[in-house]
Each structure stands twice: as structure tokens, then as C-alpha cells.
Amino acid sequence: MTGNEEGKALVETGTFDKEAELNHLMEIVHGYLDDADCKRIMAAFNLADKAHAPQKRASGEPYILHPLAVATILANLQIDATTVIAALLHDVVEDTEYTLDQIEELFGHEVAFLVDGVTKLNQFQYHTKEDQQLENYRKMILAMAKDVRVVVIKLGDRLHNMRTLEVLSGEKRRRIAKETLEIYAPIANRLGMHNIRIEFEDLGFKAMHPMRSERIRGAVRKARGNRKEIVNKIEESLSHCLAIDEIEGEVSGRQKHIYGIYKKMRGKRRAFNEIMDVYAFRIIVDKVDTCYRVLGAVHNLYKPLPGRFKDYIAIPKANGYQSLHTTLFGMHGVPIEIQIRTREMEEMANNGIAAHWLYKEKGRVNSKDLEQFAWLREIFERQSEETDSREFMHSLKMDLFKDEVYVYTPAGDVKELPEGATPLDFAFIIHSKVGQHCAGAKVNGRVVPLRTLLENGDQVEILASEAQHPQPSWLRFVATGKARSSIRRFVRHKERDETIELGRK
């Protein structure tokens, strides 16, 4: 923050921007909110503008441009008015003379609650030390469980800070970028906010590894030029195929993001060309049953690659994602990845939890909407039980960072587990008693070792025995935080009991 005198000229040059940005925000909110809401948003802007008047951002711009930008990011997701207002006011209590009580008086309890939540989230410093990182996570999880909108505002706040990262010193920039990749991107991912996650990752990667990022960006640009012709050809043949079956759908090519390509190159040790040699398309239609008709049509056009079909419409991902996925052998054997979904699913795929507001008339996420975010409650409950913070961190990372596999109970119910899960994880998901007495397992009717990795579509049956109890060795092959903390708790208690017993003797 600079002093008043020094910044005066900057305020004036910034005034024009401010007006333009404000008009832009008001235009967006008028598009989906009623006049009364828009008036409240305007009033919130005026308060924030007055409160932040003497302040500057590190770039020298008037501070108000920051909350304005955050509110705009969220308004673009068509989020409810209360959240937009809280976004405008999110730094007022922390950085200005205004108090939470004043905000409550002017804008009501809900706004004050959200502002308070964001302020509390801000009150920690990030260090690479695990304990501090844990504290960040804990606060996020707590805030999410109370009202997920607090975290949505925080993601908007972080996104604008990432977009304006260049003005900071190298060290600070790297620290913020690292935190974004380690904490904010996975949380955005878990909330299904794909667009924001992609931007976090690409901006974070650019700040951490500018050279690598630029090199991949250049290579992608070049590859795209070379591929243009074949992409157009495939797109035409897909559109033609829909037309023949009289299906209305929108075919478009998909592009992988820079950080995604980097992760694939590193994780799967694949060459850039191998990754780019896959052609990816998306087909968007009006209704769910049309998705399946499109699937039939494209499988008729090109042969599908066996084992690659996934029905995330029947079985949505934990973050709410729905779509059909299939891979085809195109002309000359070129692999073509296809995603098929409705417009509503597309909105959900891009903006995740924020898309809920779009399809709710009252503009509030209720607890039923949040049922699909049951993992959140689960983590929340576990964090109050787990006394060892390092251990909590470990199990949290297990839950936040992995992809899911979907398996069936003998009765045909679907259970979601993280990648790398074993029948033991499955047993603990069913019930902690089932987990504790898990003596063996059948996968697809066959008895398998407990350390067997489960795959999508497996049917799992647990063989329980009263004589069986959790073993320390089990910790080596569970992938869920739930199984891990149950086993640890049991083992710890047992050790303590034995020590007491020994003491008695």
C-alpha cells in the first residue's frame, strides 16, 4: 500500500478503468438478477469504493479494482446476489475502518456471515511447512462445510490475484503460485469448477516454471497449425453423422491446457507428440436420451476402442461431473476422444458447484444439492476426530487429489472410491465394523487378496469374520482417508490397551 500523496495521480488514471469495470459488472448482473438485487450490488460497490478509497494494490492501481474484479468473476458464473455483494465487500473488514457489524446492519446477516468467513480464511500465512498448510486446508474445509459460498468467493479472490501476479517479486510470486497449485486448484477441482481450476493451473505453472510453460505453449501453437486440416475433417464427418440420424448437436474440438499436457508428459513419461496425437471433440445436445443416440451414431461411424467407454451420466463423478466418454479409431487409425453431454451438464462440467445457482430459481444451494458433495461432510467429520494433524493432512491429501473409481456392491449399489483403492477401502466405506472385521474379499465373484486394486465396474463382496481385527500392515494398502484413520485408531487403542495390560502385570 502506498501513501496518499504518492498515489494521487494513479487514482486519477485509474478512475476510467473503475467506471468501465463497474459498468461491465452491472451489465452482467442485470442480465440475470432483478432490479432490487442490482441496487443492493450497487450500494455494496459504493461502500467498498469509499472504504478502500485511500488504498492501492501492489500494481499502484486503486484497490477497489480488486473486489470489483472478484465480483465480476463470480457474476460471470451467475452466482446469487448475496455472494456478489459479499465479494465486493470481502476485504473491507480486514483492510479498512469498517466493521462487520456495520456490514450486517447495511446488508444483512448472510452477507456479513460470508465476509466474516472470507476474512477468517485470510488470517493465516502460507509457509511450505506442513503444519501451516494443514491449517489452510482445515480452515477451507470448515468454511466449505458451513457455507460453500465462502470458498467460492475465496477462489474468485485467488483467481484475480493470480491474474495480476506479475507485479509481485519473484519469491512472493512463486510462493503464491505454489499454494495455488497445491491447495486452490485441487479444491476448485473437487467443487467441479473446471474453468477456474484450469486457469489456476496454467497461471501457477507459468509463475513456477516460466520457461517450460512457454516451451509447451509454443509447441502447442505449432502442433495446432499442423493439425488443423485433420481436425476439420473429423469435425465434418461427426457433424455429418449426426445430420444423417437427424440429431441436433453441436460438435467442437477440445484443446488440452498447458499444465495438463505438462503433467501427462511428466506423470506418464510420454512424449509431447504422443499426447498431441489424440484428437478430442465434444458434442453438446439438448436432452439426456439424445446423448445415448449420439453415442450409437458415432460408434456406427468409427469403431470404438474397447474398454474406453465411460458412462458418467448414469454414474456422475463425485464433483457432479456428467458426460459420456468414448474413444474411436478414426480414419488412418487416429484415436478420437469424444465427450457427449447436454448443455446443463456442460455448465456443470465448467463451473461445478457454481452451476447450481443457475438452475435454481431461488438462487440458493440447499442441502439436497450438496448431497453429491457428501465427501465434504465426511472430511469435516473426520477432522474433528483426528487428533494427529499430520495424519489428518495425509488422509486429506488422499481424498482430495485422486481420481475416482466406481464399484458395485453385491446388491448393485454404486460406491465411489479413489483411484488405488482396495477391497479394504470398500469395506470401510460400507461400514467401519465391516472394515474392522474384513477377512477376505471377492471381486467379480472371485476371492482375491485384500491388496488388490479395484477397477471401474468391479463388483465387490466382503467376507467378514468376528475373529478378524485391523492389522498395522493394512495401512500400506488403503487409499481412503476413512479406512486409514479407522485402522490407525484401532491399532493405537490396541497398543494402549496392551501397554496398560503390561503395566498391570
> What backbone torsions phi and psi does residue 249 show, to the nearest 5 degrees?
-160, 160
DSSP β-ladder status, 438-443 and 460-464: antiparallel
Q: How many CB atoms lie within 10 A of CB 254?
A: 11
- Which residue in the list 17, 49, 95, 182 is annotated as catalytic? 95
Instruction: Select from 29-37, 48-56, 84-92, 346-354 the region that touches Mn ion (CB under 5 A).
Output: 84-92
Examine residue 202 and tell whether it contacts Mn ion (CB under 5 A). no
Strand partners, 215: none
157: contact with Mn ion by CB under 5 A: yes
Quote the CA–CA distance of 325 and 115 in Å, as a whole number: 40
Query: What span, in angstroms and rounded, lies between the C-alpha atoms of 348 and 456?
Result: 22
159 or 324: CB nearest Mn ion = 159
Q: Are 311 and 320 in contact (CB under 8 A)?
A: no
Q: Which is nearer to Mn ion, 157 or 399 (CB)?
A: 157
| Residue pair 409/460 in contact by the 8 Å Cβ criterion | yes
Eight-state DSSP code of residue 453: P
Beta strands in 359-434 (DSSP E): 404-408, 414-418
Cβ neighbours of 223 (radius 10 Å): 15
How far is Cα 213 from Cα 219, in angstroms, rounded to an integer?
A: 10
Task: Reply yes or no on whether 344 is catalytic.
Answer: no
Q: Which stretch binds Mn ion (CB under 5 A): 52-60, 83-91, 207-215, 423-431?
A: 83-91
Choices 150-158, 331-339, 344-352, 487-495 (CB under 5 A): range interacting with Mn ion = 150-158
Residue listed under C-alpha cell 455448465: 347
* Paired strand residues for 281: 253, 338
Cell of 173: 510470486
* Catalytic residue selected from 6, 12, 27, 94: 94
CB 66 → Mn ion: shortest distance, Å? Answer: 6
Give the whole-angstrom CA distance, residue 67 versus residue 83.
Answer: 12
The CA-atom distances, in angstroms, between 386 and each of 207, 211, 379, 497 are 35, 41, 10, 19
Find the part of the chain contacting Mn ion (CB under 5 A) among 49-57, 88-96, 328-336, 345-353: 88-96
Number of residues interacting with Mn ion: please give it, by CB under 5 A.
2
Closest contact distance (angstroms) between CB of 150 and Mn ion is: 13
Give catalytic status of residue 37 as yes or no.
no
Of 65, 56, 59, which is closest to residue 1 (Cα–Cα)? 56
Grid cell digits, residue 249: 448437436
Considering only residues 22 through 51, tell me which ones interact with Mn ion, judged by CB under 5 A: none
Closest distance of CB 115 from Mn ion, Å: 11
Window of 49-57, 89-97, 447-455, 466-474 that interacts with Mn ion by CB under 5 A? 89-97
Contacts to Mn ion from residues 92-111, by CB under 5 A:
none
> In angstroms, what is the minimal distance from the CB of 33 to Mn ion?
22
Q: Quote the least distance from Cβ 57 to Mn ion, whole Å.
A: 10
User: Among residues 78 and 161, whose Cβ is nearest to Mn ion?
Assistant: 161
- Residue 243's contacts (CB-CB under 8 Å, 6 or more residues apart) are none
- Kindly provide the residue ranges of all beta strands, DSSP E only, lying in 306-380, ordered along the sequence: 310-311, 324-329, 335-342
Which residue is closest to Mn ion by CB? 157
Smallest distance, Å, CB 491 to Mn ion?
A: 44
Q: Which stretch binds Mn ion (CB under 5 A): 152-160, 279-287, 345-353, 388-396?
A: 152-160
Residue closer to Mn ion, measured from CB, 193 or 427: 193
CB closer to Mn ion, 157 vs 386: 157
Query: What is the smallest separation between the CB atom of 324 and Mn ion, expressed in angstroms?
Result: 39
The residue among 119 and 133 lying less far from Mn ion, judged by its C-beta, is 119
64 Cβ contact partners less than 8 Å away, ≥ 6 residues apart: 18, 48, 49, 52, 53
Largest CA distance in the chain: 84
Nearer CB in complex with Mn ion: 96/480:
96
Name which of 157 and 458 has its Cβ closer to Mn ion.
157
Chain residues 430-469 in contact with Mn ion, contact rule CB under 5 A? none
Task: Give the C-alpha separation, 277 to 330, whole Å.
Answer: 12
Q: Near Mn ion by CB under 5 A, which window of 133-141, 156-164, 199-207, 412-420?
A: 156-164
Q: Does 91 bind Mn ion (CB under 5 A)?
A: yes
Minimum distance of Mn ion from residue 52's CB (angstroms): 10
Nearer to Mn ion (CB atom), residue 139 or residue 482 = 139
Distance of closest approach, residue 370 Cβ to Mn ion, in angstroms: 25
Q: Within a 10 A sphere around the Cβ of 35, how many other Cβ atoms?
A: 8
- As measured in angstroms, the least distance from the Cβ of 154 to Mn ion is 9
277 DSSP assignment: T
* DSSP assignments along 48-80, one per residue: HHHHHTT-B-TTSSBTTHHHHHHHHHHHTTT--
| Residue 61 in contact with Mn ion, rule: CB under 5 A | no
Q: How far is CA 434 from CA 20, 83, 490, in A?
A: 61, 42, 13
- Nearer to Mn ion by Cβ, of 91 and 199: the residue is 91
Residues 294-323 that bind Mn ion (CB under 5 A): none
Radius of gyration of the chain (CA): 26
- Contact footprint for Mn ion (CB under 5 A): 91, 157
Query: Catalytic positions, please?
Result: 94-95
